[in-house]
Amino acid sequence: VCPSAMACIPTACSCGGRTEAKVKGETPEDSQMAARTALWTSTETGRGKLSRRRPLLSGKLGEPRRSVPVFQKPSREYLVRCSSHGHSLIRKIGDEIRRGETTASDVTKTYLEKIHASDETVGSFISVTAELAMEQARAVDDALASGIDPGLLAGIPFAIKDNICLSVGPTTAGSRLLQAHQPPYDAQVISALKASGAVIVGKTNLDEFGMGSTTESSAFQVTRNPWDLSRVPGGSSGGSAAAVAMQQCAAAIGSDTGGSIRQPASFCGVVGLKPTYGLIPRHGLVAYASSFDCIGPLTSSVEDAAIILSAMCGHRASDDATLQNLGESNYHGKLRSIDQQDSKPFAGRRFAIIKETLGPGVDKLVSERIIEAAKQMEELGACVDVVSCPSFHLGLPAYYILALSEASR
């Protein structure tokens, strides 16, 4: 990219107005550095020099409001590895099952016990499909005993957001209006998971009809953040995110209209992936806004998200309205181990920080973490620019006009 393209980068000023980085006699490189320095050192809008990294867990796990104790508090190591390639829980469990070190039935029983012991406190699940899960686990064990590989997700316990249709039990979308709704079919993503050998342990809580960002507006219960029970897990896929963070399942499926996978994944310290719109079929999803809705995974690692994406894309109906020209879907096979990376893996890559996203209203610690991440990316060879999008603040009202218009139809 031509350096002169960054010659006039708007920078932050103490009055919140817009100034230009380029001044007479400055080179484009000087202008860019001035812009970034102004952004990274500004304190008027809550952006300051980075302080020493705080612990990933702030404070102790909150006191449960009910008498049932948490079965197992997530470990620090679990949170640290949530975004690290090379620590795939799906691959670990699958390999142990295939080698005969454990069985899908034993793995499923372990996760069902965790749900039973912890969910009254956390509230991740609306319903638990224990009988279905054990039936599916036994089918995986029988297939392996016969020399048949059940699939990429053989024996992996999954939780499903309760706005995705499952032919066993109700699909409520978090609403009492649908508490007796029994879908006669599986959503296409459910069929894909089953075809890959997945085990479904239950349906997770959500804001009613997916309209919320805290999982407090469910008609059934409030879901709490496993790291601190006084805090929310985000939403609307908060039940799925909390279930993964609480290790009540190996992975979960959620839906995302305007951040409902990504935001709770961030709140709960797990990996959330919103696929490109149209990549994953929406068939069987209780719609919020059909031109926005996407189904995607919540996992404990990037590799697990890629494995699930491969599985969900690998079984698609030919009449799917969202089907595009999709070639190879082996997403996890394209990941490179950290051992295969050089010291500057981001060399030649260019990233941008949108100035308006770190302005008033953003917590200072959040801004600091983003700036710290940008500096780390530069150390890994990336070029990080500061750019301005003056119309950025119009995105949210535009979203609500469109999303609520579709929801009201």
Residues with active-site annotation: 161, 236, 260
350 beta partners:
383
182 beta partners:
none
| CA separation for the pair 336, 340 (Å, rounded) | 6
| CA separation for the pair 308, 399 (Å, rounded) | 28
Start-to-end C-alpha separation, the chain: 45
| CA separation for the pair 329, 170 (Å, rounded) | 31
| CA separation for the pair 127, 170 (Å, rounded) | 9
Query: Can you tell me whether residue 77 is helix, strand or coil?
Result: helix
In angstroms and rounded to an integer, the radius of gyration of the C-alpha atoms of the chain is 23
Beta strand segments in 137-198, E = 157-161
∠ Cα 265 266 268 (to 5°): 65
Pick the closest to residue 297 from 306, 289, 288 (CA basis).
306
Distance from CA of residue 189 to its chain's centroid? 17
